[in-house]
Chains A and B, each alone.
Chain A
Amino acid sequence: MKDLARFVNANAALVRRGRYLNTRFLVEVGDDGYLVVIRDGMVQSVTPGPFVMQDWDFALRAAPDTWEKFWLAIPPPGYHDLIALMRYKRLRVEGNMLIFMRNLLYVKGLMASLRPAGAAQ
């Protein structure tokens, strides 16, 4: 997660897709939380927890082995997409669903950007 800004901000097409998006969201990898702040489609900061009274617009919560498989260059079936993870109840998405759904392609692209270079996004 600490490399997120580097991968996203270098991806001009992804930044353009999210250019009207300003939000902060939480990614939980098991017990480890990361607060991601997006400004105009760029990742402004990624702050690891723990947090005290932290607010966010939406949260993506999954177990470490789920994210590990999701971030493989070729994930196995059912681990290859955020909605696939939701379908099999491996990912919980909570909070403001409107922001998440408005920017679904962007958020999917952002999370997939942590896959090895050249992997499908």
Chain B
Amino acid sequence: MKPSFEPIIGRYLNLELLGKPHRLYIEEAGQGVPLLCLHTAGADARQYRGVLNDPEVLRHHRVVTFDLPWHGRSSPPPGWHNEEYKLTSRDYMDVILAVSDALGLDRPIAMGCSIGGRVALHLALHYPERFRSIIGLQSGAHVSRYFDSSYLHRSDVHGGEACAGVVSGLIGPFSPDSDRWETLWHYMQGGPGVFLGDLYFYQLEGDIRADVAKIDTNRCPLYLLTGEYDYSCSPDDTREVAKQAAGIDVTIMERLGHFPMSENPAPFLSYLRPVLERIRAATA
């Protein structure tokens, strides 16, 4: 195998977030209309490696992704050892807007998966003027609790293995072994209690059912793409969101699960490219 570099450039950004200094890991590639990508709960920006390596996307877009604080190569804030990490919709939106501002992104397309797909709905509701379009992957307005998440963070359970165990079935059976286990590896590497802290937003605080009807897609177009094998945010959960507000564009992605961009990048890109093309055509 001949050694080769990918087009992705990774850098650390120092900035103040939520009133504290933070050191954030950021990756980007390509040039053009900015596309800001948000990873799932308990994982990191490596999930977007397929998008960041796709020549067709990079020809038209400056693709940017970052590890949320506490995730991947982004550090938790000073004093983290004395606090319990709990993601809230307010903090999540503040972080996304601050990163977008710090990088000088002009009305980027925001694309998020799972918790990122949920916050996509919050952004569409509260900050439509900040984004030229929003893409929610595996977007639902809420999720019913179907397992006891406290097992993800306790001293007598291996957190990494438990996190991977909980999410492994969210990957569709058609996904190749290499990308399936790469996706699970990210979960195994998460810090203690971080996936659980993200689920506070996903399962409780970030429930947006009461407000989803107020989303105005005339102010910011909203595209929702959901893999058919996802049972955390199922196709029905996404269709339910689209019933509540007019103009939401829904695509159900065959063969894919909860981590489309990471578990099986090639078929995901075949769904994503036409959506990006439509966004570019509409805003040209």
Interface set of A (CB-CB < 8 Å, partner B):
74-75, 77-78, 80-84, 86-88, 97-98, 101-102, 104-105, 108, 119-120
Contact = CB atoms under 8 A, between A and B. Distances in A.
A90 to B, nearest CB: 11
Nearest to A102: B157
Contacts of A108: 165, 168-169
Given A97-B151, A101-B157, A119-B173, A86 B165 contact: no
B147 interface: yes
A80 B229 contact: yes
A108 B168 CA distance: 9
B231 A78 contact: yes
Given A77-B229, A108-B169, A120-B180, 20 more contacts: A77-B231, A80-B169, A81-B168, A83-B147, A83-B166, A84-B169, A86-B147, A87-B144, A87-B146, A87-B231, A88-B231, A101-B148, A101-B151, A101-B157, A102-B157, A105-B161, A105-B165, A105-B168, A108-B165, A120-B177
Nearest to A105: B165
Contacts of A81: 168-170, 231
Contacts of A105: 161, 164-165, 168
Nearest to A89: B146
Interface in B162-183: 162, 164-166, 168-170, 172-175, 177, 180
B126 interface: no
The 7 closest A-B pairs by CB, nearest first: A81-B169, A104-B165, A87-B146, A101-B151, A120-B173, A105-B165, A84-B231
Contacts of B144: 87
A75 B173 CA distance: 8
Contacts of A78: 231, 234
B162 A74 contact: no
A104 B161 contact: yes
Contacts of B169: 80-84, 108
Nearest to B227: A77
B158 interface: yes
Most buried by A among B157, B162, B229, B234: B229
B83 interface: no
Given A77-B228, A80-B169, A80-B173, A98 B164 contact: no
B6 interface: no
Contacts of A82: 169
Interface string B126-144: 0000000000000000001
A83 B229 CA distance: 12
B162 A104 contact: yes
